[in-house]
Structure formats: structure tokens, C-alpha cells
Chains A and B, each alone.
Chain A
Amino acid sequence: MSELTLFLIRVAFLAILWIFVLSAISVIRSDMFGARVPEAARGQGAGAPRPPKQPKPSKRRGSPTHVAVTQGSSAGATASLAQAPILIGRGTDAAIRLEDDYASTRHARIAASGDQWFVEDLGSTNGTYIGSVRITQPTTIAIGTQVRIGKTILELKK
């Protein structure tokens, strides 16, 4: 095998290696911002699609100010969302203290991400439900979404 062939093979192999690395980087680059959400899908989920130029009014219209217990033995208890993240449970450090035998000491947490509100189960024994679904990961909630913990139901309120 001639010297030149070996040299070309070496350079070709290094080139393949670098083409791979650069392609991987370009895939990462195009992956950075995900896919653009199609217009149709954007309008579908939101009742009124948010006009990009004036985000404030829609935010104010939709933004809740506190969490309230609407059913259960601690009905009427509230906590302001200004203190988010809000801890819910039977423990003394909870912002909303539940007197519910089916609730855990530190049962769930309500927290914000952007202008969305999330409820996250903190590994409770009996679980946190939205509708009839037991949540397994932080889940978005809106005003009026009923979050059930044991025999208690909580809602976001304006």
C-alpha cells in the first residue's frame, strides 16, 4: 500500500469523524428552539389567541390571584399566589393547612412558570387529582380547575 493511499485514508477518516461532530452540532443547533408551533394549533387551545403585541391585557384577564379551598373540612382557607410556591398539606409549614385525613404532611405544591400555574404532587400517599386523573408530574391548572386532595378541593381564583 503506497504512502499516499495511507495518507488519504487517514485524512478521509479524520474528515468523517469531524463531519459527524459538526452534523451533531448542527442537529443540536436546530433542536435548540424546537418546532414553531403552527398557527392553527396555537389558536385551538386558547379561547382567545394572545395577540403578540399586547400580552398584558390577556395576562391580567386570565391571571389568578389566590388559591382557595372550595370543598372539604378546611373550606374557605385561602393563600395569596404572591407567596408562590405555595405548599399544601397537613404540616404546620404549609401555606394552606388541610384538616384532611387523606392528605399528607407535605402533599402538593402550586408554583408558577411564566404566566402558567402548576400543581405538583410532592410524593403524597393518596395522590393529587385533577378531575379523575391522578397527576404524576407538574400539571398546568387554570382558574376553576378543580384540584382534589383527599376530600378537599382547591381552585385558583381571581
Chain B
Amino acid sequence: MTTSSTLMGFVHRRRRGAELFLLVLALAVGVGGYAAVGVGVEGKVPADIIGYGGWLAALIVAAHIVIRLVAPYADPVLLPLVATLNGLGLAVIHRIDLGYAARGRETSFAQQQLVWMTLGVVLFVAALVVLRDHRVLARFTYTIGFGAIILLMLPLLPFFEPINGARIWIQLGGLSFQPGEVAKVMLVVAFAGYLVLHRDALALAGRRLLFVDLPRGRDLGPILAMWLVSLGILVFQRDLGSSLLFFGLFLVMLYVATERPGWIVVGGTLFLGGALAAWKTLGHVQDRVDIWLHPFEYYRNAQPPFSDQIVEAQFGFGWGGLIGRGFGEGDPTRVTYAESDFIMAAIGEELGLTAVIAVLLCYGLIVERALRVALISRDSFGKLMATGLASIFAVQVFVVIGGVTRLIPLTGLTTPFLSYGGSSLVANWVIIALLLRISDQARRPVPDLSADEEESDDESTQVIKL
């Protein structure tokens, strides 16, 4: 018998040095991007580069030190990937700020984003320090799930105003916040807790119909409820992206938990049914599909619907070509919402396909690392949670970048870590903290309790003199 630390044939190293090395490169991307924007747009390195770079470095180093202290075995690649995307996003948002300024519109998106990033890192640190063991979350499955539903319903209250037709924001003292972004993290935790308990019933009971194992009717309850919730979001909040995200997330987690392809069939059918019904009955869904199929017919239309946003984004990608126009040489602010949903179009225009592929690879690596955490995790709750968090990233990136590049109809979601948007950024930092916590637990050598059995027995039966 080998020792349990050699269980999988190897032990994981801590790799904190490798993480630091990658973080230095990530910082070079962030600060270098900021400097390049200054040089390209204004012809000089920005005056506040020291302050900006110092602030970014302080945030990243703080996150690194906290990982060293409280999660020494955590995955070494996740934090640098996130830091790079966040740094690149800040630089591009700063570029867009300058672009708006040239058009006479004063914005300070980059500064606000830096403030939100600071808040994100603070919550990241807090999550790692407070949550020493992710399994604690399993105790609050239903509480967390209930909280998530409340948060999702919150924007429907009458005193919160819809923005751009979607009721997904709440306004608190001048700040607007999307509770759905927080709810998605809570839903993953709640799903994972629920499925760990019920996966046997979901997987084993059921009957076979046409080569497909269909689950029992009563086990269908949760997925039907989830389907209704996501349709409800679609109908009442007019938020296509989130409803797609929640439904896809739940389907992936069900499939992973039960290993039954039947769920994919059922879920796929429900998705197609829901999508068809929405397309038939909801005007704004129909518009989206039409714009996706025939964008140029709606370009610079006299009356809505318009397709200017998506068409200008395509022009930008085409103009950018392989290595882009260079910072300051393009005109990304043609596209409305270039700083949030359409940030990939700005990157494609000024940095070209080369940078777009690098960004996509970064997302791919985040998803890969998260799925690897799920593979090596020893407890099922951690496995499911890591899978869910990975699929959030995967689905969200696919939906938004697929929409911007006109692969699928456009739905509004933020590009994680790149887009301007406080709630999304903060929630994503917390997701990374959870992933690092699970990976720290999974990569830590197994405490070997079987070897020192005798000694611990002797200790526990000490005779105490009375």
C-alpha cells in the first residue's frame, strides 16, 4: 500500500512562485495596455501611470499574499488569468473613455471600474479568509437558493426603473446594481447542494423510452421549475441573456450530477420549445433574431429596430484585421455600449484577431482550470460547485462573444472581467475566490489518518489522575 499522499500517483506542488511570475506578466499587460492607450490616443504616457500601476499592483499583490496565507495549495493559474483580463479590460475601457471625451461626452468608466475592481478584490480576500472550507456552504443550500430567487425578483418591484427595456437593475442611492449577477453564484451553490443530495434519485429512477432513459415525473420537478423561472425572467424582465445562462447552467449541472444523457434530451427539448414560443410571442425576441439573420436590412433604419450596434461591431472586426488598428487609431466608440457588452468589438478593432484569440484562450484556460478543480476535488459538493462555476463562465462567454461576433442572436450579458459593470466584476471575483478555495482543498495532500492510528488511540485513552 502506498501512502495516501501518493494516492493519484503524485502530490500537487504549491506553485506560488509560478503564480507570482505570471502575475508580473499580467501586470505588464495591464499597465502596458494603459500606457499604450495613452501613447496611442494622446501622444504621451499618461501622467497618472505611476499611481494607476501602483494601485493595480497593490491589488494583485494583496490577492497573491492572501492566497499564500490562507489557500497555499490553490491553483496557480486562475488569479493571473483573471488579473490579465481585468487589466486589459481597464485599459480598453480607459481607451473608450478617451474616445467619448473626443466626442464631447465626459465619462469616467475606467475610474469607476477600478473602484469596482478594488471592491471585487476586497470581497475576494474576504471570501477566502472567511470561508476556510467550501463544504460549509452545503449546509445553507435552501437558504442560499431562496436568497437567489429573492434577488432575481427584486428588480421587478415597481420602484426600480427599467434600463433599456430590461428590468434587471436596482438603484440604491445613485448606484445601480444587477442582483442577477450575485444570484447566479448563489444559484450554483444551491444547485450543487440540492443535486448532491438528490442525484441518486434523479439518476436511477426512471423509465426507458426510445433508447433514452427518461427521469421520473416527480424528479422532473426541479428542472421544470427552473425552466419556468428562466422563462419568467425572459418574459417579465426582458433579459434574454440571463435566462439562457440560468437554464444552461442548471442543465449542465444536472447532466454532470446524474450522468444521464436523458436530461440533455429533456432539457434540449424544453429549450427549443421555450425558444420557439418566445420567438413566436415576444416582439423583442423576434427583433433580435431578425437582426441576427439580416443585420444590414436594419442598418441606419428610420425607426426601430436598429442593427447599427452589431453592424458597426462587424465593421470594427473587419477593419481591425489580424493585428488591429492600434490604440488610438480605431474608432471603437461608434458602437454603442462599446465599454460593456461590445468590449470585444473594441478589442477586435484596435488590437485585432491576435488579441481576440488571446482573450478567448484566457477564458478557455479559466474554464479548463475550473473543470480540473472539479475533476480532482474529493467531495461531490465541491465537484458540482466547480463544474457549475466553470459552466457559468463558459456559457456566459459563449453567449456574449457569440452574440457580438454574430454567431448567435445577440443577448445582453457582460463579458466577464473585461466589460464595464460593477456587479458582474464583483460577482466574478467572488466566483474565482470560491474556485480557489475548492482547488486548495482538492490539491492539499490528504491528511493521513490511517497511518498514525495507534498513537492517536493511545492518546485518546490516557488515564487522567483524579
Contacts and interface: CB of A to CB of B under 8 A. Distances in A.
Partners in one complex: yes
Interface of A: 1, 5-7, 9-14, 16-21, 23-25, 27-28, 30-31, 33-37, 41-42, 44-47, 50, 58, 62, 113-116, 120, 123, 130-133, 135-142, 144-146
B77 A27 contact: yes
Contacts of B81: 24
B449 A10 contact: no
B12 A35 contact: yes
Interface in B1-54: 1-13, 15, 18, 21-22, 25-26, 28-29, 32-33, 36, 39-40, 43
Contacts of B171: none
B441 interface: yes
Contacts of B1: 46-47, 50, 58, 62, 115-116, 142
A131 B458 CA distance: 10
Given A10-B326, A42-B2, A50-B2, A18 B449 contact: no
A84 to B, nearest CB: 15
B450 A140 contact: yes
Contacts, number: 178
B456 interface: yes
A28 B33 contact: no
B32 A13 contact: yes
Nearest to A59: B1
Interface stretch (B97-105, B239-247, B295-303, B357-365): B357-365
B378 interface: yes
Contacts of A141: 450
Given A33-B10, A34-B12, A146-B453, A140 B36 contact: no
Chain B facing A: main interface SS: helix
Given A46-B2, A140-B446, A35 B10 contact: yes
Contact of A17 (B15, B76, B355): B355
B158 to A, nearest CB: 41
26 contacts: A1-B40, A13-B29, A14-B355, A17-B355, A20-B29, A21-B362, A25-B365, A27-B15, A28-B77, A28-B365, A31-B76, A34-B13, A35-B11, A35-B12, A41-B5, A45-B5, A50-B2, A114-B7, A116-B4, A120-B379, A123-B197, A130-B453, A131-B457, A132-B460, A137-B135, A137-B379
B7 A140 contact: yes
A44 to B, nearest CB: 7
B89 interface: no
A6 B26 CA distance: 22
A25 B368 CA distance: 11
B369 A16 contact: no
